């Protein structure tokens, strides 16, 4: 169990009646309460345009927990404690008066000695204005919440994704936030960093002596990262069609996974030490020329098909998608990391929607044994050892090794040494948002992204976006793939051409 936050805390959710709050944030808070992890003196303030009374807001919270909490039904005693300090402020998030109103509302919880965490779960166009107005009404400097000179430390702002649309807009947003507050107050969320197995990558690498000596180009041949979903664009076409999977999943979640696998040992488990190492990885990723984009990046878009037994529409047939859209719903990429550790080790990454199964995993492939003496049994090749971090759906870590199956003759068979969360700990891991909300309330930014990190990640994908836009004629097309398949066959071709084998399936 984690230590509790020490200070009384008020959490303000801007965009409190939206989808994210309903599906993720409110259930996460309730589950933290169930585990006794919320500060004893916890208050929640909803802040949104919708006209709600306090009672209507509490009803909204109840429905959110009833529908989306991983643990149900609601415990009545806990619920009355959880909802004892709740307020709701309705207002236009783009107008300063609303923030004045919010400041008034915050005083009812005896605001002088409280930490206040503002969660911007709004449309991205409000991130900049919200930061500005929060600052102007004194909620970020501490003026409105305390009298001591370090009072700013008591207020923090969590910023949801998307953080910018490209490098320029991400820089602009960083600047807007930094005009209103200090970097230490900004918690840019990437929910993949809150997933249990993602957090385990660093523990696994650096708390065990046996893997790190092998974790380099001498022993690792390549790395594969898969972020596959079965869902399509759903009701988010308005956002996704302007974004595409490269922006939606690769710039943030998938590159974060790559960083954690590739980084050097941080000097400590402090936020900036870890983030410094991630930034170094991002800076070492080789920049793509237009030729690289043509040769090492495969784009795809789902066609009509079947997910399980259900027939589903193709991307261009989805409500809200431009019929002439060129947006990619799949991408397969070969990255090179130009540093001592990873010289010559390709990192393959694929992310896509409407694929055959939902799976997020990272597989590290070790080079084959240097010499084999099994020729007389007709064995002249063995499979690589593969270490897989399965992030979802079944959290675990597997090591594929070659063994001899029972019997009189010598044969080789790949088997898995398996660690699964369910079996080893007998508990279901918490949702990513539980951990991240708790960390933000405690003031621990380790699992959040820093300004330079986010800009570097944009700098990695920028040349790809640029080549797609400006060198259209030289770029391969967006290949169609059937919904429910493994993605475009050209993504397999990419691996076959480069390493002589297709994508790995753990
Ligand atoms: C979000 C993306 O950040 O992550 C979505 O915007 C995607 O398009 C989602 O579906 C995936 O998250 P998870 O936790 O279900 O893997």
Atom of ligand 1 nearest to the CA of 392: 16
Q: pLDDT per residue over 411-458, tens digit each? A: 999 999 999 988 999 888 899 999 999 999 999 999 999 999 999 999
Interatomic CA distance for residues 89 and 52, integer angstroms: 8
* Whole-number Cα distances in Å, 27 to 53, 83, 120: 20, 13, 17
Interatomic CA distance for residues 116 and 134, integer angstroms: 11
The predicted structure's pLDDT at residue 109? 85
In sequence order, the β-bridge partners of residue 48 are 90
Give the gyration radius of the chain's Cα atoms. 24
Atom of ligand 1 nearest to the CA of 227: 16
The predicted structure's pLDDT at residue 302? 98
Interatomic CA distance for residues 98 and 96, integer angstroms: 5
Residue 253 designated active-site: yes
Which among 361, 349, 252, 242 is positioned nearest to 297, based on CA atoms?
349
Residue with tokens 């540093």: 339
The predicted structure's pLDDT at residue 471? 87
Q: What φ, ψ does residue 346 adopt, rounded to 5°?
A: -70, 140
- Structural tokens at position 79: 């619920």
Interatomic CA distance for residues 292 and 298, integer angstroms: 11
Average pLDDT over residues 282-308: 97
- Predicted confidence (pLDDT) at residue 301 exceeds the cutoff of 70: yes
Atom of ligand 1 nearest to the CA of 161: 3
Q: pLDDT per residue over 219-228, tens digit each? A: 999 999 999 9
Interatomic CA distance for residues 129 and 177, integer angstroms: 9
Q: Are 286 and 337 in contact (CB under 8 A)?
A: yes
Indicate whether residue 229 lines ligand 1 (CB < 6 A).
Answer: yes
Interatomic CA distance for residues 503 and 122, integer angstroms: 37
With the most atoms of ligand 1 within 8 angstroms of its CB, the residue from 249, 250, 357 to mutate is 249
- Structural tokens at position 296: 């090492």
The predicted structure's pLDDT at residue 145? 52
- For residue 35, how far is its CA from the centre of ligand 1 (angstroms)? 25
The predicted structure's pLDDT at residue 506? 79
Residue with tokens 């190492």: 277
Indicate whether residue 248 lines ligand 1 (CB < 6 A).
Answer: yes
Q: Are 106 and 99 in contact (CB under 8 A)?
A: no
- Predicted confidence (pLDDT) at residue 125 exceeds the cutoff of 50: yes
Interatomic CA distance for residues 113 and 117, integer angstroms: 13
- For residue 329, how far is its CA from the centre of ligand 1 (angstroms)? 13
- Structural tokens at position 27: 């259930």
* Whole-number Cα distances in Å, 48 to 18, 52, 101, 455: 8, 9, 12, 29
Indicate whether residue 190 lines ligand 1 (CB < 6 A).
Answer: no
- Structural tokens at position 92: 């236009």
Q: pLDDT per residue over 233-268, tens digit each? A: 999 999 999 999 999 999 999 999 999 999 999 999
CB hemisphere CA count around 133 (13 angstroms): 21
* Residue 327 banded pLDDT, cuts 50, 70, 90: very high
The predicted structure's pLDDT at residue 40? 84
Q: What φ, ψ does residue 348 adopt, rounded to 5°?
A: -100, 135
- Predicted confidence (pLDDT) at residue 152 exceeds the cutoff of 80: no
Atom of ligand 1 nearest to the CA of 192: 14
The dihedral over CA atoms of 320, 324, 326, 327, expressed in degrees to the nearest 10, equals 0
Q: pLDDT per residue over 352-378, tens digit each? A: 999 999 999 999 999 998 888 888 888
DSSP sequence for 379-400: ----PPPEEEEEEESS-EEEEE
Distance separating the N- and C-terminal Cα atoms of the chain: 31
Q: Against a cut of 0.75, is the pTM above it?
A: yes
Interatomic CA distance for residues 241 and 265, integer angstroms: 38
- Predicted confidence (pLDDT) at residue 142 exceeds the cutoff of 70: no
112 vs 122, which has greater pLDDT?
122
Which among 92, 179, 94, 86 is positioned nearest to 140, based on CA atoms?
179
With the most atoms of ligand 1 within 8 angstroms of its CB, the residue from 189, 191, 359 to mutate is 191
Q: pLDDT per residue over 33-43, tens digit each? A: 999 999 989 99
* Residue 173 banded pLDDT, cuts 50, 70, 90: very high
The predicted structure's pLDDT at residue 60? 98
- Structural tokens at position 341: 């550790």
> Is residue 16 classed as helix, strand or coil in its secondary structure?
coil
Q: How many other CB atoms are found less than 10 A from the CB of residue 409?
A: 8
b/e 422-446 (16+ beta carbons within 10 angstroms → b):
eeeeeeebbbbbbbbbbbbbbbbbb
CB hemisphere CA count around 270 (13 angstroms): 6
The predicted structure's pLDDT at residue 5? 56
């Amino acid at each position: 169990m984690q230590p509790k936050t020490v200070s009384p805390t008020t959490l303000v959710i801007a965009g409190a009646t939206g989808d994210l709050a309903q599906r993720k944030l409110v259930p996460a808070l309730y589950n933290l309460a169930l585990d006794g992890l919320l500060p004893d003196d916890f208050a929640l303030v909803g802040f949104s345009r919708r006209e709600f009374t306090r009672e209507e807001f509490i009803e909204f919270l109840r429905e959110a927990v009833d529908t989306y909490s991983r643990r149900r039904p609601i415990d009545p005693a806990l619920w009355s404690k959880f909802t004892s300090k709740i307020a709701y402020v309705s207002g236009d998030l783009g107008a300063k008066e609303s923030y004045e109103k919010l400041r008034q509302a915050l005083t009812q919880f005896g605001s002088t000695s409280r930490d206040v965490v503002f969660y911007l779960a709004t449309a991205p166009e409000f991130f900049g204005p919200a930061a500005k107005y929060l600052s102007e009404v004194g909620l970020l400097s501490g003026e409105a919440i305390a009298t001591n000179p370090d009072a700013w430390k008591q207020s923090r702002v969590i910023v949801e994704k998307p953080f910018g649309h490209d490098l320029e807009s991400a820089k602009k947003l960083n600047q807007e936030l930094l005009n209103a507050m200090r970097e230490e107050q900004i918690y840019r969320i990437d929910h993949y960093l809150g997933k249990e197995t993602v957090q385990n990558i660093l523990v696994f690498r650096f708390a065990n002596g046996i893997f790190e000596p092998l974790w380099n180009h001498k022993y690792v041949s390549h790395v594969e990262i898969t972020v596959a979903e079965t869902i399509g664009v759903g009701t988010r076409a308005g956002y996704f069609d302007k974004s595409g999977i490269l922006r939606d999943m690769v710039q943030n979640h998938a590159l974060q996974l790559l960083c954690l696998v590739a980084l050097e040992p941080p000097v400590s488990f402090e936020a900036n030490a870890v983030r410094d190492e991630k930034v170094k990885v991002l800076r070492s990723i080789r920049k793509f020329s237009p030729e690289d984009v043509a040769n090492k990046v495969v784009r795809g878009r789902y066609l009509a098909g079947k997910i399980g037994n259900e027939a589903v529409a193709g991307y261009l047939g989805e409500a809200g998608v431009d019929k002439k859209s060129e947006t990619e719903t799949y991408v397969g990429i070969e990255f090179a990391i130009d540093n001592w550790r990873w010289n010559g080790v390709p990192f393959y990454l694929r992310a896509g929607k409407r694929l055959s199964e939902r799976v997020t995993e990272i597989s590290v492939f070790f080079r084959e044994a240097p010499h084999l003496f099994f020729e007389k049994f007709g064995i002249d090749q063995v499979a690589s050892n593969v270490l897989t971090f399965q992030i979802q759906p079944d959290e675990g870590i597997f090591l594929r090794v070659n063994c001899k199956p029972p019997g009189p003759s010598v044969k080789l068979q790949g088997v898995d040494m398996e660690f699964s969360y369910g079996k080893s700990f007998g508990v279901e891991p918490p949702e990513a948002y539980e951990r991240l909300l708790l960390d933000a309330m405690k003031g621990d930014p380790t699992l959040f992204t820093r300004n330079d990190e986010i800009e570097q990640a944009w700098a990695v994908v920028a040349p790809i976006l640029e080549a797609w836009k400006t060198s259209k004629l030289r770029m391969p097309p967006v290949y169609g793939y059937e919904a429910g398949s493994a993605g475009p066959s050209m993504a397999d071709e990419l691996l076959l051409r480069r390493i002589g084998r297709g994508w790995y399936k753990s």
